Amino acid sequence: MNPMKIVEIIKDLFKVKMPIESISAAKPGFLNFTLDPAWVKSQINKVIELGESFGNISLGAGVGIQVEFVSVNPTGPLHIGHARGAVVGSSLSNILTAADYQVHKEYYLNDAGAQIEKFAMSIFANYKNQKGIVTKIPDDGYQGEYIDEVTSTIEADLGHQIDEMSDQEALNTIKDAGLELMIKAIKHDLITLRVEMDEWFSETSLYENGTYNEVKSKLNNNNLLLKKDNALWFTSSKLGDDKDNVIEKSNGNPTYFASDIAYHYNKFKIRDFKFVVNIWGSDHQGHVPRLKTVMQALEIDPSRLKFIITQMVKLKRGSTAVKMSKRTGELITLSDFIKEVGVDACRFFFLSRSADSQLDFDIELAKQKSSDNPVYYIQYAHARICSIIRNAKQQKIDFLNGNVDLLDHSTELDLIKKILNMPEIIRLISLRLEPHHLAHYAQELAAAFHLYYQNCKVISTDTSEFELTKARLKLCEASRLTINRCLSLMGMAAPKEM
């Protein structure tokens, strides 16, 4: 039977109670449901009733979900690429919370391992050089302006003690002090970006409290460890990975991967998160397969572990590329970057693209305070509404008893429908872990409001239209609440005036 005949028949079978005005068949075989406009309009009352909680859904049912993000080695300051993960992670966490997940935001602090040692040695060498003792910086060591600053700070704070110590003692002291300074700097940058963590989880703790040994014996019991060339291997190829991985080097030290196994054991088996989202930069994407084999080895359902891999960020000023390199020192630090473009623009642009796509960030565009810039477009809609409501209050108009059924202009109905989309957007983002949809929705919502504003005068001077004025003010208030919610979920300011 052809599709049109089928839909012609089934369209008459819908006799359920739904706020549907009509159902029609359309080519080449669609059923179009037209919502009852009275019902649509009445939802404005619901939005205002719900207030700040409009958009919340019960999808997560209070289940625990850990979102691990940023987790940059504390051997250097954050850069622009890290900021992308930070913004995506914090906004996604806000949205998951709105979807009734119990969200735990976490920074995994790599405070152990060879890179930390190298970091300490680099500072120590720099320290000696500053004292006139010519010392070689280790191969692939850390350098740059920030290393000089850290060295100077340590010299000022601890120089007298360090000079009395043996090299080994000095190195340890410098390591602790250097780590502390870097962590402080990272925390400071994150706070500026409006990113807050619930927990800073120490890698070292996994060794100190026995978690690693527990995991190791579990793997051993499952016959997944192998001693070869004096090193200890996790035979992940048995579980489908394309190669085995070393977890203890021939010098006896555990690798980063060893901690990662213990860390995920901790997440799922000790802290019992139902879901875990790891937000990693694309330079770590190669670790995904082996971590999936870890899930198998630990007998954890792999679908409980999700990844968001954020692609690289390229900075541009207009059409010229801005180079970024940790080693050359030609580095735009995150704090300089935020100072230049502002937190709101920074967050918006990082959120506006799918994590899967590389991001071209045009500094000049983001700085523009004009309609070229979607940040201002959205915030302007909010400020505009606040201004209208201020006017209404000055005129002592109490609009909360307004009758929304009077709203009949097509731009009003379009705006209402757009507002009512909000919970669906939260749902979509939560299911797919794609916060960029919120940035697009916010733009569409702002556009629907601006169009409405252009077509319908809210506060009429004609006293016969007093009831309509009240209804329109109610729609403005619902729009304001929704735009405000979007901005707040994205971690952006919702200015009352600009």
Partner RNA sequence: GCGCUUGUAGCUCAGUGGAUAGAGCGCCGCCCUGCGGAGGCGGAGGCCGAGGGUUCGAAUCCCUCCAAGCGCACCA
Query: According to CB under 7 A, which residues from 239 to 268 bind RNA?
Result: 242-243, 246, 249-251, 253, 255-257
Contact indicator for 60, 96 with CB cutoff of 8 Å: yes
Query: Taking the complex as a whole, how short is the minimal distance between the CB of residue 291 and RNA, in angstroms?
Result: 11
Q: How far apart are CA 369 and CA 377, in angstroms?
A: 9
Residue span binding RNA (CB under 7 A) among the ranges 53-61, 160-168, 213-221, 309-317: 309-317
- Please report, as residue ranges, which positions from 18 to 47 form the binding site for RNA (by CB under 7 A): 26-30, 32
**By CB under 7 A, residue 430 contacts RNA:** no
Q: How far apart are CA 313 and CA 222, in angstroms?
A: 41
- Give the three-class secondary structure for 379: helix
In Å, how far from its chain's centre is CA 194?
A: 11
Q: Which is nearer to RNA, 53 or 410 (CB)?
A: 410
Kindly state the DSSP code that residue 269 receives in the 8-state scheme.
I
**By CB under 7 A, residue 3 contacts RNA:** yes
**Percent helix, percent strand, percent coil in the chain, to nearest 5:** 55, 15, 30
Q: Which is nearer to RNA, 127 or 233 (CB)?
A: 233
- Please report, as residue ranges, which positions from 157 to 176 form the binding site for RNA (by CB under 7 A): none
Which of 200, 207, 377, 466 binds RNA (CB under 7 A)? It is: 377
Q: How far apart are CA 67 and CA 83, in angstroms?
A: 15
- Please report, as residue ranges, which positions from 139 to 158 form the binding site for RNA (by CB under 7 A): none
- Please report, as residue ranges, which positions from 444 to 483 form the binding site for RNA (by CB under 7 A): 447, 450-451, 453-459
Query: Taking the complex as a whole, how short is the minimal distance between the CB of residue 386 and RNA, in angstroms?
Result: 6
Q: Which is nearer to RNA, 436 or 474 (CB)?
A: 436
Q: Half-sphere exposure of residue 265, counting CA atoms within 13 Å on the CB side?
A: 22
Binding letters toward RNA, positions 210-239, x by CB under 7 A? ------------------xxxx--------
Residue span binding RNA (CB under 7 A) among the ranges 84-92, 188-196, 266-274, 434-442: 434-442
Give the per-residue SS3 of 236-256: HHHHCCCCCEEEECCCCCECH
- Determine phi and psi for 66, rounding to 5 degrees: -100, 130
Which of 163, 196, 301, 372 binds RNA (CB under 7 A)? It is: 372
Q: Which is nearer to RNA, 73 or 205 (CB)?
A: 73
Q: Which is nearer to RNA, 112 or 483 (CB)?
A: 112
Query: Minimal CA–CA distance to 173: which of 143, 151, 149, 203?
Result: 151
Kindly state the DSSP code that residue 267 receives in the 8-state scheme.
I
Q: Which is nearer to RNA, 370 or 464 (CB)?
A: 370
DSSP string of 135-181, one letter each residue: -PPPTT---SHHHHHHHHHHHHHHHHHHHHS-HHHHHHHHHHHHHHH
Contact indicator for 483, 419 with CB cutoff of 8 Å: no
Query: Taking the complex as a whole, how short is the minimal distance between the CB of residue 146 and RNA, in angstroms?
Result: 17
Query: Taking the complex as a whole, how short is the minimal distance between the CB of residue 85 and RNA, in angstroms?
Result: 13
**By CB under 7 A, residue 14 contacts RNA:** no
- Please report, as residue ranges, which positions from 63 to 92 form the binding site for RNA (by CB under 7 A): 73
- Please report, as residue ranges, which positions from 189 to 208 form the binding site for RNA (by CB under 7 A): 203
DSSP string of 395-440, one letter each residue: TT---TT--GGG---HHHHHHHHHHHTHHHHHHHHHHHT-THHHHH
Give the per-residue SS3 of 432-445: HCCCHHHHHHHHHH
Q: Which is nearer to RNA, 129 or 421 (CB)?
A: 421
Task: Quickly tell me which residue has 């990113």 as its tokens.
Answer: 195
Contact indicator for 278, 308 with CB cutoff of 8 Å: yes
Which of 127, 273, 350, 376 binds RNA (CB under 7 A)? It is: 376
Residue span binding RNA (CB under 7 A) among the ranges 122-130, 164-172, 184-192, 490-498: 490-498
- One-letter amino acid for residue 143 of the chain: Q
Residue span binding RNA (CB under 7 A) among the ranges 37-45, 147-155, 330-338, 381-389: 381-389
Q: Which is nearer to RNA, 189 or 412 (CB)?
A: 412
- Report how many residues bind RNA under the rule CB under 7 A: 79
**By CB under 7 A, residue 321 contacts RNA:** no
Which of 161, 217, 354, 403 binds RNA (CB under 7 A)? It is: 354
Q: Which is nearer to RNA, 257 or 273 (CB)?
A: 257
Q: Which is nearer to RNA, 162 or 458 (CB)?
A: 458
Query: Taking the complex as a whole, how short is the minimal distance between the CB of residue 288 and RNA, in angstroms?
Result: 7
Find the DSSP H helices in 70-113. 80-98
- Please report, as residue ranges, which positions from 279 to 308 form the binding site for RNA (by CB under 7 A): 282-287, 289
Q: How far apart are CA 428 and CA 436, in angstroms?
A: 11
Q: How far apart are CA 31 and CA 65, in angstroms?
A: 38
Q: Which is nearer to RNA, 152 or 496 (CB)?
A: 496
